[in-house]
Amino acid sequence: IDSDITAHLESIRQLCTTRNSLMPISCLPPEVLANIFVQYAAQINLRSPSISLGCSTDWWIAVTYVCRHWREVALATPRLWSSLSFQRPKWVPEMIIRSRMAPL
């Protein structure tokens, strides 16, 4: 029974991925979506320096849970991970890895 449940859950996950891929936002090239994320991050940092010094990365974590496409794009965009959040020290090593060669 457990293996049947696992198989059905995987089928549901695949169907959700297919449905999400049909949404208009999913038609954007990854470079355009990444640029939207980067521009939004810049606007947040300009409007509220306290956010940029505090939990600015929290919303990036939320973005990675929207859908598989957004997660792949966000994880592959080093500039999103170059502002380290020391309020969550356990995230810092992973953020450094994700930031790749982007200036910290």
- What is the extent of the structural domain holding 49? 29-99
- Is residue 65 domain-resident? yes
Tell me how crowded residue 100 is: count the other CB atoms within 10 A of its CB: 12
User: Could you tell me the end-to-end alpha-carbon distance of the chain, in angstroms, rounded to an integer?
Assistant: 49
Residue 51 lies in a domain: yes
> Does a structural domain hold residue 81?
yes
Flag whether 15 is in a domain: no
Residues of the chain falling short of pLDDT 70? 45-58, 85
**16 assigned to some structural domain:** no
Residue 64's pLDDT is 84
Domain count within the chain = 1
